[in-house]
Structure formats: structure tokens, C-alpha cells
A and B are shown apart, each in its own frame.
Chain A
Amino acid sequence: MAAITLDSEMTDMKNSPGPDAVFAAKLAEGVFEIQKCGACGAHVFHPRVICPTCGSADLEWVAPTGRGTIYARTVVRRKPERGGDYNVVLVDLEEGVRMMSRVDGMAHDEIAAGLKVSASVGEGADGGPAVIFQPEGGVS
């Protein structure tokens, strides 16, 4: 790994909001973007200050294809009167990053590793905007 050099990116960094705030602001506008490293080409999620692959601060925002594959799935079992069951998944995006999410539009028990899914901006459990996935090819 190359030694880290401080470049003009660092000067910009001082005066701009952090990557978490940038991601949240984009999401609030209905836009899902991840970071890409200008130095090594790796995609980065969650949003970070420096690339965890090479240490560069040269990270730019890019739109992912939104396509991904379920890596693992669980279903939180909850009594119907408390809202019922819901699924929690880990999704591997085509860009090579993983994120936690939820799959809508499919029975919980049918969701399994290997399922192809696509992303959209929907609503999280807290009522805020969140990246949600659906089975690719639409709701079954």
C-alpha cells in the first residue's frame, strides 16, 4: 500500500459536511449514491472519509446500478399485534459493497441468499428515507 499523501482533497474536506451528512441529504432527495475511490477504483459503502482499501481521501459520489444479490437473510418474528414479522437482509451490490436492508414485495420465507434484487428509496422503520430492495423483475 502506498504512503498516504495529503492533497488538495484534504483542504476541501475541512470546509464541507462529512460523508454521512452528504449521504443523508441525498437520500432525503430520493437519491441513493455510494462513493468511489479515485485512486484505486474501489467502491465504498458505508460512506467514509478515506478509502478503506487504499487510504485515499479522493472519494467521489456515484450512482450504483441498484442491482444486487441477497447475501444473508433473517426474519424478525414479532406478534401480529406488535406489527408482525419483518425481514432484514444483507445485500451485495454489483459494485462490490454490502449493505443491510429489507426486501419488500415478497413473502419473508421466500427471500433467500442468491435472490436478485434492485434498490429504490423507500421508508425505513424509523419513518425516515431508506434504501429498500425489491425482487428484480418486479413484485412476485
Chain B
Amino acid sequence: MSLRGKAAIVGAALAGCGEAHGKSAMEITVEAVHGALADAGVSLGDVDAIATCQPLDMLSGLTLAQELGLNPKFTMNNRMGGSSFLSHTLWAAMLLELRLADTVLICYGSNQRTASGKLMTALGLPTYEAPYKPMFPLSSYALAADRHMTQFGTTREQLADVAVSARAWAQKNPEAFIRDPLTREDVIASRLVSDPLRVRDCCLVTDGGGAIVMRRAETAKDHPRPPVYLLGGGEGTTHRDISEMPDLTVTGAAQSGALAMGMAGVKPADIDVVQLYDAFTINVILFLEDLGFCKKGEGGAFVENGGIAPGGHLPVNTNGGGLSCVHPGMYGIFTLVEAVRQLRGDAGDRQIAGAELALAHGNGGVLSSQVTNILGTESTL
């Protein structure tokens, strides 16, 4: 028995992206929910399972049920960080396939930009790292970037080109938060924060929310918009703290990607469009390697000189990503929403013509949790 193609995303929406003045995280979340339900043509009362994960509210699943006035059969509140939502889709497919639920809502929202201007997190430094005061989470990613540069000769310019590509995509997306031109030189001249990472290697701090609605494939075509089918999913968790990561150049995406693509019966070369959680520029290089789009150590060359920009050999983060479009603390849901838009043909100037297969990938913690989803149009079933 496989979950391949058994469940589909039938509604998706964003809300409050950029700056959402005067709104709470849960209010932004519920605005996205309202949009996704309308997009799906589903009434609130039909929702019988919910999933969320919010940075500060440990019981955010319960808060969500309360805000929506629901008494769900399942309330999923797993806390793996920004990858949580790509795990929620897998759990949703299981619940739907086992007929334990009929309509699953997955959502997120944060007001971190207007509320605090920086990353809002309930996390403190780990016991065995606190005495050395690494910046959380930035220094963890900086250590991974340093190691990748040491081990494979990845260059400062290659890291910069990830940010430059994201900006080039953002310039095609009217919803992206920053759309000014950005050059490799701009990135390298930006303020050094934790070597080798500079300000422009780091994701944005914005507000924003997103939501999707999932139903069984057999009823997925009863909704107004074309369904986007979940063809495969997989997870990997290699550590929590960066000092415990077995190899800083190999993430759990090696496992999550293989599991997801194995379930879907696809290989990297089949994928039309890729959405990766780009909290920092190094993430994209690591994930492209671990997911099999290039060999280990060759991610730098893969992204260099517009390799993943518009017109490059692989379209990655077509909305502009967390680096240039939106990053309200946990980005995972946004990889799903952008994948849905691409597979529906709704992506406007940044649309990948004929896109049928998308990969969405979430990262949680400090490269700790990796979750991959393979999504496809009806033609891929």
C-alpha cells in the first residue's frame, strides 16, 4: 500500500505577507485559513482535522481549534520547526486514506516583523553550546557553510549567487517583499554577521501566513480549482543542535528526498520546479546536493552564474524564497503554496511553462529536521 496520489491539496492561500500591522500571529493564520477554505470551496464545518505549529504558542493546535470554533477529530501540533508543515501533509494523507478524517487543514502565521522586528522563538541555546554564545540560529548555519567551503572549495561568490537568484525570481513576483536589484557584489559587500555568512545570506524577517486544505484524491476534483496531488513524502532528523550533527555537509534531506522520490516513483531529473527552505544561502546548496540534483560537493557550481535563477537549468524558489519573498519564522508552508501555484499554472510572470511535478522541501531547527514532499498535477497520477 502506498500513499502515492491518495490525497490532494484542493485549496491554498497566503495572508499578511510582508507587514501585517496590528495583527496577531493567530489572526494572520486565520486569514490564510479563510482564504484557503474559499479557494477550496469548503465550508469551515467540513474541516475535521487541523495541523499547525507556531513559534511561541506551545499549544497552537488548541488555539487554532478555539479560533475556528472546531472540535476536530485530530489536532496535529508537531514541533519540528519550519519543516513541520511538510510532515503535516504526510499525516493528513494517512488520516484521509484510513478514513479517520475527510478534510484536513494545515496552516501557519506569524507577525514577527511588526511585533518584534526579528526572529521570534521560544528556543534558548542548548546546554552544551550556551557557554560559547553562538548566534541562534545563524552561527549554526555559518559553521555548516564554513565546513562546506573547507571540504569542497565552495566559494563566497557561489553562496552569493543563491541570494542573487532568489532576488531575480522575486522581481517576477508582485507579492515578494523585496524586489530591488541585487548583485553578487552587493551580497559580498553586505555586513558580515557570523563568518562566512553576511546579512544578504540570511532570510528576511517578515510577517505572513499560509494555509492549505487537503482531501482524498477521489473527491479532489469536486472543488473549483485543479487538485495538486501528494505523490510522495519523507522525513529525516539527524540532530537537534549543530554540535551533534554527524556531518555538517550532509543533511537529513538525503534520507527525506530518497523516501519522497521513492514513494512518488520519480527522480530528480523529472522535477519541473523546486521550492527549498532557504533560511540561509548555504541551505540551498546543501539541499540541492542531498536531494540528488547534483553530486555532493558540486552544489556551489550548480547554483553559480544563474544556475537556479530565471532561465537557469533548474527553477528553484520561484516566489523569491525566504531570502526575498517572505520569511515569517517558519517558511515550510510557503514552499507548499508556491508549488501549488506553479502546478495550477497560477504563477504569473514566474510561471514555469507546463510544470507537472514539483518538489517542496522544509528545514527545521538548525539543519536538524528535513521533510520533502513531491507534488504533481493530475497528469502525473
Contact residue among A72, A77, A100, A124 (Cβ-Cβ distance under 8 Å from B150): A72
The residues in A between 101 and 140 inclusive whose CB is less than 8 angstroms from any CB of B are 101-102, 112-114, 124-126, 128, 130
Does B132 contact A130, Cβ atoms closer than 8 Å?
A: yes
- Chain A residues near B100 (CB-CB < 8 A): none
Question: A88 vs B195: C-alpha distance in the bound complex, in angstroms?
Answer: 10
Choose the segment among B123-131, B262-270, B344-352 that binds chain A (4+ C-beta atoms closer than 8 Å). B123-131
Does A72 contact B146, Cβ atoms closer than 8 Å?
A: yes
Give the shortest distance, in Å, between B225 (CB) and chain A (any CB).
45
- Chain B residues near A76 (CB-CB < 8 A): 133-135, 139, 193-194
Give the shortest distance, in Å, between A64 (CB) and chain B (any CB).
15
Question: A74 vs B248: C-alpha distance in the bound complex, in angstroms?
Answer: 13
Which partner residue on chain A sits nearest B146 by CB separation?
A: A72
The answer to whether A98 has its CB under 8 Å from any CB of chain B is yes
Whether A74 contacts B243 in the complex (CB less than 8 A), given A90-B143, A100-B132, A124-B131, comes out as no
Total contacts A-B at CB 8 Å: 82
The answer to whether A73 has its CB under 8 Å from any CB of chain B is yes
Interface string of A76-89 (1 = CB under 8 A from B): 11000000001010
> Which of B131, B139, B248 has the most C-beta atoms of chain A within 10 angstroms of its own C-beta?
B131
The answer to whether A60 has its CB under 8 Å from any CB of chain B is no
Does B133 contact A88, Cβ atoms closer than 8 Å?
A: yes
Question: A73 vs B150: C-alpha distance in the bound complex, in angstroms?
Answer: 10
Contact residue among A98, A125, A130 (Cβ-Cβ distance under 8 Å from B243): A98
- Chain A residues near B134 (CB-CB < 8 A): 74, 76, 88, 100
Q: Chain B, interface size: which category? A: 20 to 34
- Chain B residues near A102 (CB-CB < 8 A): 132
- Chain A residues near B192 (CB-CB < 8 A): 77
Contact residue among B129, B146, B191 (Cβ-Cβ distance under 8 Å from A74): B146
Q: Chain A, interface size: which category? A: 20 to 34
- Chain A residues near B194 (CB-CB < 8 A): 74-77, 88
- Chain B residues near A130 (CB-CB < 8 A): 131-132
Contact residue among A45, A46, A88, A99 (Cβ-Cβ distance under 8 Å from B143): A88
The residues in B between 123 and 162 inclusive whose CB is less than 8 angstroms from any CB of A are 127-135, 139, 142-144, 146-147, 150-151
Does B132 contact A88, Cβ atoms closer than 8 Å?
A: yes
A sample of 20 more A-B contacts (CB under 8 A), given A72-B143, A74-B195, A90-B143, is A46-B128, A46-B243, A72-B144, A73-B146, A73-B195, A74-B196, A74-B197, A75-B195, A76-B135, A77-B191, A86-B133, A88-B133, A90-B243, A100-B132, A101-B132, A102-B132, A112-B150, A114-B150, A125-B133, A128-B131
Q: Please report B residues at the A interface, Cβ cutoff 8 Å.
A: 127-135, 139, 142-144, 146-147, 150-151, 191-197, 241-244, 248
Closest 3 CB pairs of A and B: A124-B131, A130-B131, A74-B142
